[in-house]
Structure 1
Amino acid sequence: MTQHSQTATAANPFFRPWTTPFGIAPFGEIAIDDYRPAFDSALAEHRAEIEVIATQAEAPSFANTIDALEKAGHALDRLCGVFFNIASSDADEAIQAIQRDMAPILAQHGNAISLDVRLFARVKALHDARASLGISPEQIRVLEKTYKNFVRAGAELGDEAKQRMRAVTERLATLGTQFAQNVLKDEATWTLQLAEADLEGLPDYLVSALHQAASDRGLDGAVMTLGRSMVEPFLAVSPRRDLREKVFKAWVRRGEMGGATDNTAIVAETVALRIERARLLGYPTFAAFKLDDTMAKTPDAVRSLLDRVWVRAKDRVGEEREALAEVARTEGMNDKIEPWDWRFYAEKVRQQRHALDEAELKPYFQLDRMIAAAFDVATRLFGVTFERRHDVPVYHPDVRAYQVSRGGKPIGLFLGDYFARPTKRSGAWMSAFRSQEKLSGEVLPIIVNVMNFAKPPEGKPALLSFDDARTLFHEFGHGLHGLLSDVTYPLLSGTSVARDFVEFPSQLYEHWLARPEVLSRFAVHAETGAVMPLGLIDRLIAARNFNQGFATVEYTSSALVDMAFHSLEGAEGLDPIAFEHQELARIGMPDGMVMRHRTPHFAHVFSGDGYSAGYYSYMWSEVLDADGFAAFEETGDVFDTALAQRLGDFVYSAGNIRDPLEAYIAFRGREPDPQALLIKRGLAKVA
């Protein structure tokens, strides 16, 4: 090694222990040129560790095979935890270039492990003898999951099929990365300059956000962007129908704007490769493959739930459209209700029926107060406390760090990244810089929640809509699932559960936001300091199912189209946009509506395998969350100590140590009642 190489290695933070609080990455010391050498080194180290496991002379044992596999790859895990969180939250062109380069390399690395016949032989030998190994239930669970992961990756295939599987998965990794980057680029580059006359009729909070968006981009005046937290309020309150149409059409065409960022061809190739992957593994469709490892198990089970809700939602949406059209006619708008009209006239109907005005509500939903509310609910349910830490390195000045403790003992670190910026992908999510485990010692989790709320001007509080606040609670529910995890094995940690169970803890947590016990303490007016009046709280709660037909159709149509794509048995000549239109026509998509996530920017489904053939999961989990919160309501105390204890023990802290249905029954005392979903959404009456 040359002196220059030695100096570069010594300076690279990924080549030394981190002495920061909680061992978090020293973000300020990491340079862009540190990542590629770190990847090269971490991959080589992991390959060497795997080779030791695969070639050892000793007969397979749980310790020398499963434990060893779980402990291997520490340097790579640490690096990926940093890099991929930055790539999602604060990516410049250099980060994106590395991400594109690494996607197939990492897929190739994963294939080399999953398709190694020596490794699989050891895992299979243990799996076949699992009943006689004398291991704990958690270890049995790890062994079964490890074995199944190998099989689902293609470990039982012949040599030729394995070679094809390698090519397919590596290409899919590249396509998913490109898809996500294309959407981000469309969102980051599209702006609409607004003149002062265009701002007439807009509430002060939105005008401030539009000016701030311009300032953030080095522009004068006010600009509209394609962030959901900007688009949805604009569509709800702008009296300029022409501007609403322009913004809406750009919003739904993300990923379909032509040129280098158009995702149409990527979707077609992705669907075809997923079908091939499923066929290689012996499944008729990709949906059948993906669902085999979920609570739902089969595409028919998913469609049964979605169809049941779809019929009710379409009936309701017809009633809602008539109400909107009536208001529109009174204001002289006699055209049919278009997609860019729906939110605008729905807001007017809501004001009429429930005396609720978004401009009246927003000052009560200050970001800082809603964060405090989410923390307080966790304290009351699970006994955890949160302390702001200003000495913890963060990757962006907007990020906040909190020490999470229980019984005076730290149990994790929570990061909150709440404001939109051009380098952040849209949406909201939870992720882990490091997951909890005890196999390698007491490893505490480092969990992040990422949002895209509009950043306020300096010195002003950030004001959220009620839906924004609900998103914050939702993601914090995921965050608690990671923070409260108390398992031994990394494979089972935190949110590493079935896709259609992972949304249960997050969606359940949303329920506490809408409780008077929470709103009466934390919904405080930004200007007057007054607590939200009980009458306003009552009206807000009464209106929670307002426009629910629209919301349910938006979501369910996306889930049905996802299932339709992934139920195809062939994709020759597939035109994704035409297929989307055909499927929406087949299910009877109501006039004046579009999917919540159109195909070219449906990142849940096409930026990776996470929610592919799995967008239904939110609704499947909603059956659980509706029925689960009813359990708290039945006690007469939504903070019931005994029930909260079971919820913590069997759900939030338990990771994937047991079957999800068993976990739910252990918490609830019985299987979930699907009727609870329809009641929650106001699509069925309480018996």
Structure 2
Amino acid sequence: MSADATPTANPFFQAWETPFEAPPFAAIAPAQMEEAFEAGLAAHEAEIAAIRDASEPASFENTILALERAGRDLRRVAMVFYNLAGAHTNPEIQAIERRLAPKLARHSSKVSLDAGLFARVDAVFAAREGLGLDAEALRLLERTHLGFVRAGAQLAPAAKERLAEIDQRLAEIGTAFAQNVLGDESGFTLVLEGEDDLAGLPDWLVSAAARAAQDRGLSGKHVITLARSSVEPFLAFSARRDLRKAAFEAWTRRGANGGERDNRGIVAETVRLRAERARLLGYESFAHYKLDDAMAKTPDAVSGLLGRVWGPARARAGEERDALAALAAENGESAEIAPWDWRYLAEGVRRARYDLDEGAIKPYLSLDRMIEAAFHVASRLFGLVFEERTDVPTWHPDVRAFEVKDAESAHVGLFYGDYFARPSKRSGAWASAFRTQQNLDGRVRPIIVNVMNFSAGSPDAPPLLSFDDARTLFHEFGHALHGLLSEVTYPSLAGTAVARDFVELPSQLYEHWLETPEILERFARHWKTNEPMPQALREKLIGARTFNQGFATVEYLACAFVDLDFHLLPSAGNIDPEAFERDALERIGMPDEIVMRHRTPHFAHVFAGSGYAAGYYSYMWSEVLDADAFEAFRETGDVFHPDTAAKLKEHIYSAGNRRDPAEAYAAFRGRMPDVGPLLAKRGLIEGMEAPAAGEA
């Protein structure tokens, strides 16, 4: 979106005569989005009143389907606004976001707590067995009714009023949390002044740091930012321990630096309000409330999974620490490993053990090639074709747009890729939508976006990815396919609108194809010579993929444990979030040398909104599924097995929330999975190596 777009007739009050009816970003000013929100809220209120006050008896058509159709104008502007708020914000958008948060929360509460409206939904639900609904319509009815119940529709008036107050406040402080983290991220730079500051850094990282400096008006210098694609490689390669410490502490202190951007008070209030909200709804804790509508169902089930993986992971991390200490001693350094030493020493151990250097890998993993690889896998599995379009409007010059077609050249959807880090974008990687699929009133095709934070290329080389970066690209593209391939009738059941601990299955499963010999042989090519990655290097890369998995699993599991512990509190007074975090980590025996992947004051998954609250375990839960699901392909001897791919598309990628996720998985696999393949995949079973991705 153009920051200085000239306000004209509001685009949200007009039809979009753009290719695929994509948002006309250059014509949209922030104030127009706020105006469109006001109009959308008013229209939705009128639609809800008409449903509630209808004189005819409640029916599936005039109540449930009417609710599905209501609020389209509001959703249209919300999808544009919140995508821009995450990927390309500015002070005006942030101010609007702060004003909108309580307003939208009040509106949502007003709808979900409307007694007259719920009475009609409840009447249709009570009569459901005699309505002759097909399975998808029945699923919609059940999910709609459950949504009202879980939002408090059955509470007494006083409890409803308090619940609405809580939801409004949570919306306000969740927005503040996210903006505070972005402020700390974009406000920090580590300027590398001379050659000594560049010691140990490979050429590709030096080039990326020069580009980051140039983007910030510091031409001739080098800058490390808190984007993961910048700070993590710096921690892995910088020979300057003092600079590693400075970068690491800035990275892990986001949201906890005092002043107006400090998030610790927000965390304490959030935990307190969520616990109260759960009690109002009759649950022991927020975790019990949240998990009741997930695959896991109970905190005990989550704790059981995390505990089963924690022991092997912690043991492996201990072995990894000993290897790092031995290397440090060989180098004449202290064998006492600090958190800012781990990645640097681990890179040294990896080079020694596998003769594998990240700098030797990256030239074969150019961004364009990896995008092409992700598209190729989708073509092989699902018959999709991707055609880049330069006539589709975008919100930033770096954004790329692709039309997606099926094998018969029919339009499937529009895909946006926004790949590079910039100060206006929050950190991390994610998938989202500007429009979701539905077939309720005509065939509406989706507009899906992937957002990354890779380092941009330099004048001398294109953007080059680490293998972890390439895996991230495949992961988020798996989410994108979940949205693009959706083929359901009702919008609220479409695409990724599934249980939180199921939604990561399509994304994590898709990562497996990156490692297959066919993909690496065809797409891992040197950006300059176009020579394929040598077989010996490929074998080293795959052989090392379980290297440092103790560390990676521990830093992830620590977050899941802390998240769960916060939300198991039946009530919370004025807790000290950092003290609570320390106590939670001490209980599980967290190694001193490893820090949570997302420390509490910047744990946006959990505290910038409730999406992953009491749900960060979901990545591990879904990984149990994805490790087992890829076995279905390996068992056939063909990782692109057509019949298995067809079942995967039917029951997982295109099915949305048409059925219970456990039923959907069993329909694909014929059974539910066990945790064993996950432990093997991560190399956490003693004496058991994970098989190569392409092996049967």
Report TM bin, short chain.
over 0.9
Q: Which residue of 2 aligns with 1:123?
A: 121
Alignment pair present for 1:18 and 2:16:
yes
Question: Any gaps of 5 or more consecutive residues in structure 1?
Answer: 1-7
Structure 2 Cα separation of the partners of residues 680 and 200 of structure 1:
35
Q: Which residue of 2 aligns with 1:245?
A: 245
Summarize the alignment of residues 185-584 of structure 1 with structure 2, pairs less than 5 Å apart: 185-197=183-195, 198-220=197-219, 221-406=221-406, 407-458=408-459, 460-584=461-585
Candidates 54, 63, 66, aligned match of 1:65: 63
* AA aligned opposite 2:492: L
Deviation per CA, 1:72-117: give whole Å up to 9, x if none. Answer: 1111111001000000000001000000000010011111110011
Q: Which residue of 1 aligns with 2:634?
A: 633
Q: Which residue of 2 aligns with 1:39?
A: 37
Normalised to the residue count of structure 2, the TM-score between the two structures is 0.97
- Retained in 2: the 8 A contact 1:325–1:336? yes
* AA aligned opposite 1:179: F
* AA aligned opposite 2:113: L
Structure 1 Cα separation of the partners of residues 32 and 571 of structure 2:
43
- Retained in 1: the 8 A contact 2:7–2:29? no
* AA aligned opposite 2:310: W
Deviation per CA, 1:257-276: give whole Å up to 9, x if none. Answer: 11111000000000000000
Q: Percent same amino acid among aligned pairs?
A: 61
Structure 1 Cα separation of the partners of residues 57 and 8 of structure 2:
39
Report SS of the residue matched to 1:468: helix
Q: Which residue of 1 aligns with 2:153?
A: 155
Structure 1 Cα separation of the partners of residues 539 and 635 of structure 2:
20
Structure 1 Cα separation of the partners of residues 216 and 134 of structure 2:
56
Deviation per CA, 1:515-541: give whole Å up to 9, x if none. Answer: 111000000011221101111111111
Deviation per CA, 1:533-572: give whole Å up to 9, x if none. Answer: 1111111111110001000000000000000000011211
* AA aligned opposite 2:643: A
* AA aligned opposite 1:550: F
Structure 2 Cα separation of the partners of residues 242 and 591 of structure 1:
19
Structure 2 Cα separation of the partners of residues 581 and 399 of structure 1:
41
Report SS of the residue matched to 2:402: strand
**How much has 1:201 moved relative to structure 2?**
2.4
Q: Which residue of 2 aligns with 1:5?
A: none
Structure 1 Cα separation of the partners of residues 501 and 327 of structure 2:
39
**How much has 1:673 moved relative to structure 2?**
1.8
Deviation per CA, 1:125-174: give whole Å up to 9, x if none. Answer: 11111111001100000000000000000000000000000000000000
Structure 2 Cα separation of the partners of residues 72 and 10 of structure 1:
27
Structure 2 Cα separation of the partners of residues 169 and 301 of structure 1:
27
Alignment pair present for 1:56 and 2:57:
no
Question: Any gaps of 5 or more consecutive residues in structure 2?
Answer: 1-5, 690-696
Deviation per CA, 1:620-675: give whole Å up to 9, x if none. Answer: 00000000001111110000000000000000000000111111111111111221
Report SS of the residue matched to 1:416: strand
Report SS of the residue matched to 1:42: helix
| Most deviating of 194-203 and 589-598 | 194-203
Structure 2 Cα separation of the partners of residues 674 and 585 of structure 1:
25
Q: Which residue of 1 aligns with 2:648?
A: 647
| Alpha-carbon spacing, 1:389–1:627, altered in 2? closer, same or farther (3 Å) | same
* AA aligned opposite 2:250: A
* AA aligned opposite 2:274: R
- Retained in 2: the 8 A contact 1:562–1:615? yes
- Retained in 1: the 8 A contact 2:437–2:444? yes
Q: Which residue of 2 aligns with 1:3?
A: none
Structure 1 Cα separation of the partners of residues 666 and 547 of structure 2:
31
Structure 2 Cα separation of the partners of residues 352 and 686 of structure 1:
22
Deviation per CA, 1:599-628: give whole Å up to 9, x if none. Answer: 000000000010000000000000000000
**How much has 1:200 moved relative to structure 2?**
2.7
The Cα RMSD (Å) is: 1.1
- Retained in 1: the 8 A contact 2:186–2:423? yes
Deviation per CA, 1:390-437: give whole Å up to 9, x if none. Answer: 000001111000000012101100000000000100000000001000
**How much has 1:36 moved relative to structure 2?**
1.7
* AA aligned opposite 1:212: R
Q: Which residue of 1 aligns with 2:167?
A: 169
**How much has 1:457 moved relative to structure 2?**
2.1
Q: Which residue of 1 aligns with 2:693?
A: none
- Retained in 1: the 8 A contact 2:326–2:335? no
* AA aligned opposite 1:121: A
Report SS of the residue matched to 1:11: coil
**How much has 1:9 moved relative to structure 2?**
9.4
- Retained in 1: the 8 A contact 2:7–2:28? no
**How much has 1:440 moved relative to structure 2?**
2.4
**How much has 1:460 moved relative to structure 2?**
2.8
* AA aligned opposite 2:37: F
Structure 1 Cα separation of the partners of residues 343 and 7 of structure 2:
55
Structure 2 Cα separation of the partners of residues 341 and 615 of structure 1:
26
**How much has 1:10 moved relative to structure 2?**
6.6
What is the count of residue pairs matched by the alignment?
680
Report SS of the residue matched to 2:255: coil
**How much has 1:506 moved relative to structure 2?**
0.2
- Retained in 2: the 8 A contact 1:9–1:15? no
Runs of 4+ in 1 over 3 A off after TM superposition: none
Structure 2 Cα separation of the partners of residues 18 and 246 of structure 1:
48
- Retained in 2: the 8 A contact 1:195–1:222? yes
Structure 2 Cα separation of the partners of residues 635 and 335 of structure 1:
48
- Retained in 1: the 8 A contact 2:177–2:263? yes
Structure 2 Cα separation of the partners of residues 478 and 138 of structure 1:
22
* AA aligned opposite 2:362: K
Summarize the alignment of residues 126-141 of structure 1 with structure 2, pairs less than 5 Å apart: 126-141=124-139
Deviation per CA, 1:438-459: give whole Å up to 9, x if none. Answer: 1121111000000000111246
Normalised to the residue count of structure 1, the TM-score between the two structures is 0.98
| Most deviating of 522-531 and 271-280 | 522-531
Report SS of the residue matched to 1:295: coil
| Most deviating of 30-39 and 650-659 | 30-39
| Most deviating of 569-578 and 611-620 | 569-578
Structure 1 Cα separation of the partners of residues 608 and 200 of structure 2:
38
| Alpha-carbon spacing, 1:385–1:162, altered in 2? closer, same or farther (3 Å) | same
Structure 2 Cα separation of the partners of residues 32 and 288 of structure 1:
39
Structure 2 Cα separation of the partners of residues 667 and 516 of structure 1:
25
Report SS of the residue matched to 1:648: helix
Structure 2 Cα separation of the partners of residues 535 and 133 of structure 1:
63
Report SS of the residue matched to 2:208: helix
**How much has 1:686 moved relative to structure 2?**
4.8
Structure 1 Cα separation of the partners of residues 545 and 7 of structure 2:
56
Q: Which residue of 2 aligns with 1:90?
A: 88
Report SS of the residue matched to 1:173: helix
